[in-house]
């Protein structure tokens, strides 16, 4: 286990590399779910016949929390997001494992190890530590139960590749089960066919308010029964309405804040460095190091990564030099932060540097001996070649690579050492002692650029939070509204008159936050009201018609009240506003389309049809299925179905959202597609989701709402 011991002895060297690798497995950030559960042996998830109990779920959440805290210690997000994504991950892993077992699909150790050995992060980690991936893999094979940060990293890689390779094999198997028939193949072959067409179009939306096309409740019920299976739900749902009151500062709060900010600015400006605000309890202090181009004196890099170097306010600060100041006030009504900037120091130092490192673990006598050899001209190559001591580690700078910005050089003590040793002589960069263990890092500058100016800029942040008086008034008014509107119907009906904005949504066990919106590109839910999952739980614990008490969330700056309107089980009912709107639009469009077809009657050409419909004739190079002005499946189906017989004919087509009169003037022959491409396009074009098929192959029960605080 010498290799693994060698890895474990270098926590500082490994942290950045391992932290970067962990990014691949991070789904999102997390706060603290430590109080999520308080008891054992409770069913959290069930996938088919397999149960996932509290302990396993909690362990997965804790592991995710640990990873995220290591990678982004200052990042704060809603814990519910990560908890539910852990749920998705656990379900996915079980489904893949169950399906692979049923299909007798497996992944060999050699397949996994080969994938791990070629992983970019693994290769980088091994190169940094002077070893090969094969050496590490062999060590893991000999002692799979070893512990330590580096070993955990490799074991996680092995686990992930085991899952990913199984997933890939299973995906190929699912794809192989779906074959296009002759008609499917013909349609896919036509997908890249271009038609030169003329068309006239009438949108149904312009008739939506015409009473002739009014949709009755009975018609909606009939359509609902016809399409009921489309509205089947696997998880119980609740339709809720809610009022959110933002805890914003009042006009008087802003007036008081402006007075404090003026005093902070004056103290900052009149006292040396950061003395004026260092101990000010009303502010948060940040120090940035900014690098400028030595010739143009323009900002080129941000050494600490805490600010945006292209921000014009920094350019203005640099022009003023030491002690120059700027103030940035809130940019929008929800922004409460005022920033005051000051240039506190300007020094010169190389903005990037290439260095050799020799790390010596052990007692001071050993460290002094190594340093003496280096100081007397013994090269790293020679020392590395003759050294047999596992307590000495080497890291050489690659001269073929561009030196990187090193934030360490902006510390005064480190900068002074580097500037004094630009001649290439070795020096002690840093040393640490923990108990009887000691480590010394000796460094040699081998490449550097000409010195540039380094600006230290202090930022003082003042947060203008609402006063206690303001919060109490907002809460008193909201409570008075709840007292007058104690049921869900009145709660929603009377909100506008009371100047409250009511929002509605449907939630289930997977809903992490209220007010989430679908991503227009992926369809996945995003955004939402941080910290509101406990109100989702409340909605499932209370009967329809019930109105909650006020939830006051100081951390996220709001108060929230929720009312349960309906409980959905088995199917989303036709009374649901979204379902009702979908069915109403479908029925109404069908009525309008039929009426417009009758209105058209018979005509001699497309121009005459356009005249009857009071519209115009346009032309387009049309490819069915592409995003264009005729993005209608009925039109595409009619044209593809007729093939070359469509050329020269005028067709009246009642589409999904508009009436089209279409004439195909020319059909350009499609590019021939090989069978393999047709099969692949079939899988993709038909919108087949292999993972979704597997997901729906088993009954899944999600009980995580029971464990929300």
Q: What pLDDT was estimated at residue 243?
A: 97
Q: What pLDDT was estimated at residue 608?
A: 92
In the chain, % of residues over pLDDT 90: 31
Q: Is the pLDDT of residue 445 over 50?
A: yes
- Going by pLDDT thresholds of 50, 70 and 90, the confidence category of residue 100 is confident
**477-483 own/partner pairs: CB under 8 Å, 24+ apart:** 478/243, 478/245, 478/550, 478/559, 478/561, 479/550, 481/243, 482/547, 482/549, 482/550, 482/561
**Alpha carbons 182 and 184: distance in angstroms, whole number:** 5
Domain range summary for the chain, segments of one domain joined by +: 2-178+698-707, 191-227+578-672, 251-350+456-463, 353-448, 467-570
- Going by pLDDT thresholds of 50, 70 and 90, the confidence category of residue 297 is very low
Q: Is the pLDDT of residue 296 over 80?
A: no
Task: Select the more confidently predicted residue: 148 or 475.
Answer: 475
Cα–Cα–Cα angle for 298, 300, 301, rounded to 5 degrees: 140
User: For residue 198, is it left (φ>0), alpha (ψ between -120 and 50) or beta?
Assistant: beta
**Alpha carbons 305 and 103: distance in angstroms, whole number:** 49
Q: What pLDDT was estimated at residue 58?
A: 86
- Going by pLDDT thresholds of 50, 70 and 90, the confidence category of residue 35 is very low
Q: Is the pLDDT of residue 306 over 80?
A: no
Q: What is the maximal distance between C-alpha atoms in the chain? A: 104
**Alpha carbons 496 and 303: distance in angstroms, whole number:** 51
Q: Is the pLDDT of residue 622 over 90?
A: no
Mean pLDDT of 516-532: 75
Q: What pLDDT was estimated at residue 479?
A: 97
Mean pLDDT of 532-557: 94
Average pLDDT, rounded, for the chain: 79
Q: What pLDDT was estimated at residue 191?
A: 53
- Going by pLDDT thresholds of 50, 70 and 90, the confidence category of residue 310 is low
Q: Is the pLDDT of residue 299 over 50?
A: no
In this predicted structure, which of 199-208, 227-236, 618-627 has the lowest mean pLDDT?
618-627
Q: What is the pLDDT of residues 138-194, one digit of tens each?
A: 777 777 666 656 677 777 788 888 878 887 777 667 666 666 555 555 555 555 678
Report which listed range, 83-87, 181-185, 323-327, 384-388, is most confident. 323-327
Mean pLDDT of 289-303: 49
Task: Select the more confidently predicted residue: 449 or 485.
Answer: 485
> Phi/psi at 270 (nearest 5 deg)?
-95, -10
How many helices (H) does the chain have, and how many strands (E)? 23, 22
Residue 373 CB-density burial (10 A; 0-12 exposed, 13-18 middle, 19+ buried)? middle
Q: What is the pLDDT of residues 225-255, one digit of tens each?
A: 999 999 998 889 999 999 999 999 999 999 9
In this predicted structure, which of 21-30, 162-171, 493-502, 599-608 has the lowest mean pLDDT?
21-30
In the chain, % of residues over pLDDT 70: 78
Q: What pLDDT was estimated at residue 320?
A: 84
Q: What pLDDT was estimated at residue 560?
A: 97
Task: Select the more confidently predicted residue: 361 or 687.
Answer: 361
With residue 246 as reference, give the H or E element that holds it: strand 237-246
Mean pLDDT of 622-644: 79
In this predicted structure, which of 7-16, 113-122, 377-386, 469-478 has the lowest mean pLDDT?
7-16
Task: Select the more confidently predicted residue: 191 or 258.
Answer: 258
- Going by pLDDT thresholds of 50, 70 and 90, the confidence category of residue 572 is very high
Task: Select the more confidently predicted residue: 81 or 552.
Answer: 552
DSSP code, position 467: P
- Going by pLDDT thresholds of 50, 70 and 90, the confidence category of residue 36 is very low
Q: Is the pLDDT of residue 675 over 60?
A: no
Report which listed range, 39-53, 85-99, 163-177, is most confident. 85-99
**Alpha carbons 391 and 78: distance in angstroms, whole number:** 43
- Going by pLDDT thresholds of 50, 70 and 90, the confidence category of residue 426 is very high
Domain 2-178+698-707 has CATH 1.10.4030.10: yes
Mean pLDDT of 319-331: 88
Q: What pLDDT was estimated at residue 410?
A: 58
Q: Is the pLDDT of residue 298 over 80?
A: no
Q: Name which of 45, 46, 83 is nearest 64 in CA terms.
A: 83
Task: Select the more confidently predicted residue: 154 or 687.
Answer: 154
Task: Select the more confidently predicted residue: 540 or 294.
Answer: 540
């Amino acid at each position: 286990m010498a290799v693994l011991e060698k890895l474990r002895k270098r926590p500082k060297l490994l942290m950045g590399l391992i932290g970067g690798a962990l990014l691949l497995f991070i789904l999102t950030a997390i706060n603290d779910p430590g109080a999520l559960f308080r008891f054992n042996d409770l069913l959290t998830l069930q996938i088919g016949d397999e149960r996932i109990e509290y302990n396993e779920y909690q362990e997965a959440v804790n592991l995710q929390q640990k990873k995220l805290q290591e990678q982004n210690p200052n990042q704060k997000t809603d814990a519910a997001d990560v908890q539910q994504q852990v749920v998705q991950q656990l379900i996915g892993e079980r489904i893949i494992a169950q399906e692979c077992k049923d299909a007798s699909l497996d992944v060999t150790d050699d397949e996994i190890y080969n994938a791990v050995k070629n992983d970019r992060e693994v290769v980088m980690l091994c190169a940094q530590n002077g070893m090969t991936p094969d050496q590490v893999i062999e060590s893991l094979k000999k002692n799979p139960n070893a512990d330590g940060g580096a070993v955990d990293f490799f074991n996680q890689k092995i686990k992930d590749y085991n899952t990913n390779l199984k997933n890939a094999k299973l995906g190929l198997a699912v794809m192989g089960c779906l074959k296009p028939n002759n008609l499917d193949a013909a349609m896919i072959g036509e997908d890249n066919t271009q038609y030169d067409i003329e068309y006239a179009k009438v949108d149904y939306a312009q008739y939506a308010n015409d009473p002739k096309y009014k949709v009755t409740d009975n018609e909606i019920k009939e359509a609902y029964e016809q399409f009921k299976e489309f509205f089947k739900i696997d998880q119980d749902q609740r339709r809720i309405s809610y009022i959110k009151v933002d805890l914003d500062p009042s006009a008087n709060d802003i007036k008081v804040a402006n007075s404090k900010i003026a005093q902070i600015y004056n103290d900052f400006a009149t006292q040396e460095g950061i003395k004026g605000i260092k101990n000010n309890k009303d502010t948060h202090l940040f120090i940035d190091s900014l690098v400028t181009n030595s010739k143009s004196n323009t900002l080129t890099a941000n050494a600490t990564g805490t600010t945006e170097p292209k921000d014009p306010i920094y350019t203005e600060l640099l022009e003023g030099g030491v002690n120059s100041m700027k103030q940035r006030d809130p940019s929008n009504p929800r922004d409460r932060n005022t920033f005051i900037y000051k240039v506190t120091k300007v020094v010169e130092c190389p903005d990037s540097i290439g260095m050799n490192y020799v790390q010596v673990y052990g007692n001071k006598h050993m460290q002094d001996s190594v340093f003496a050899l280096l100081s007397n001209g013994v090269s790293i190559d020679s020392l590395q070649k003759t050294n047999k001591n596992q307590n000495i580690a080497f890291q050489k700078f690659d001269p073929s690579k561009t030196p990187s910005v090193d934030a360490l050089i902006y510390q005064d003590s480190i900068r002074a050492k580097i500037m004094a040793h630009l001649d290439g002589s070795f020096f002690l960069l840093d040393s640490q002692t923990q108990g009887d263990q000691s480590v010394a890092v000796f460094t040699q500058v081998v490449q550097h650029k000409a010195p540039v100016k380094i600006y230290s800029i202090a930022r003082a942040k003042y947060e203008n939070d609402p006063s206690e008086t303001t919060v109490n008034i907002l809460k008193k008014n909201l409570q008075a509204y709840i007292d007058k509107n104690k049921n869900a119907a009145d709660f929603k009906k009377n909100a506008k008159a009371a100047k409250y904005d009511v929002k509605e949504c449907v939630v289930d066990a997977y809903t992490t936050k209220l007010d989430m919106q679908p991503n227009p590109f992926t369809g996945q839910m995003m955004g939402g009201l941080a910290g509101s999952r406990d109100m989702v739980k409340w909605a499932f614990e209370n009967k329809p018609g019930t109105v909650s008490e006020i939830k006051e969330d100081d951390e996220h700056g709001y108060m929230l009240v929720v009312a349960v309107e309906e409980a959905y089980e088995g199917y989303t009912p036709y009374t649901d506003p979204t379902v009702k709107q979908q069915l109403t639009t479908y029925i109404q469009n069908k009525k309008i389309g039929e009426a417009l077809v009758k209105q058209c009657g018979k005509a001699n050409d497309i121009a005459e049809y356009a005249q009857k419909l009071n519209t115009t004739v346009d032309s387009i190079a049309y490819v069915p299925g592409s995003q264009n002005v005729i993005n209608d499946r009925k039109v595409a189906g009619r044209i593809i179905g007729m093939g070359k017989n469509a050329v020269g004919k005028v067709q009246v087509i009642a589409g999904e959202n508009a009436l089209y009169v279409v004439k195909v003037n020319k059909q350009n022959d499609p590019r021939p597609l090989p069978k393999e491409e047709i099969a692949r396009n079939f899988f993709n074009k038909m919108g087949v989701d292999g993972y979704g098929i597997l997901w729906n192959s088993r009954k899944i029960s999600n009980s995580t709402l029971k464990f929300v605080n």
